[in-house]
Amino acid sequence: MPGNRPPIDERALIVVDMQGDFMPGGALPCVRGNEILDGIQAAMSSGEYGHIVATQDWHPAGHISFASSHGHHQPFEVIELYGEPQTLWPDHCVRATSGAVLDTRLDWSLANIIIRKGSDPRVDSYSAFRDNLGPKGTRPSTGLAGWLDERGVTEVSVCGLAREVCVLWTAEDALKAGFTTRFLWPLTRPVSFDSDAATYQRLEHCGIAIVDTASMDSPD
């Protein structure tokens, strides 16, 4: 129930993919992604969360999610990969490049664990919990659900970039893993606002709490 929260040591905050390439001017920018920096820093340092998890999109050059790896396709085209739709992206978050660095305006010393994802050249990875569907029909786990379970976490709050991609998939997997899940809507930004209605519907449909508190006053 909203308002009926567990104790702080049972709460985790997951900060998804706050990296240069998802910021304005980056390779795969979210709309005004910089606007959520202050709110995320406030959430991280609020003392309201007993555990802070960060994720970092971390692709090898030539990753299968890059349009440039497929020759005849353009960024944002959708192809079929392993029987599922795969959006092809501009090259982004290539490991050890400047665009992959976690935004230095946030204090990452507050994070208890940083999960790098998308390192398998053959499969994309949106969620903090597991890869997208891969060549053998498997979705290898990142180990995050176990990490949270071992620490007694029961409630997960998600924020970061991009609202309709990695934050959404992370929230859906958190719920599937059995955590009460909160989506801090004003502390996310999408690649495109066109996706917002569909994202909202998906969250409502599966029972993820969409948090839009007065302290997070932006309607975006």
Which residue numbers are catalytic? 17, 117, 166
Q: Residue 57 or residue 103: which is nearer to Zn ion going by CB?
A: 57
Would you count residue 44 as binding ligand VGL (CB under 6 A)? no
Cβ pair 106, 37 in contact under 8 A: yes
Residue written as tokens 């290539």?
94
Does the protein bind Zn ion through residue 57 (CB under 5 A)?
A: yes
Tokens 């971390």, residue located: 58
Amino acid at 135: P
Q: Provide the angle, in degrees to the nearest 10, between the axes of the packed helices 196-206 and 168-176.
A: 10
* Rg (alpha carbons) of the chain, rounded to whole number: 16
Q: Residue 161, interface with ligand VGL (CB under 6 A)?
A: yes
Site string for ligand VGL, 61-100 (x = CB under 6 A): ----------------------------x-----------
Among 88, 128, 166, 208, binds ligand VGL (CB under 6 A): 166
CB of 50 to Zn ion, least distance (A): 29
Measured CA to CA, the distance from residue 132 to residue 124 in angstroms comes to 6
State the Cα–Cα distance between residues 93 and 162, nearest whole angstrom: 13
Residue 155 binds ligand VGL (CB under 6 A): no
Residue 80 pairs in a beta bridge with: 85
Contact range with Zn ion by CB under 5 A, out of 3-11, 56-64, 77-85, 96-104? 56-64
Residues forming the site for ligand VGL (CB under 6 A): 17, 22, 57, 89, 161-162, 165-166
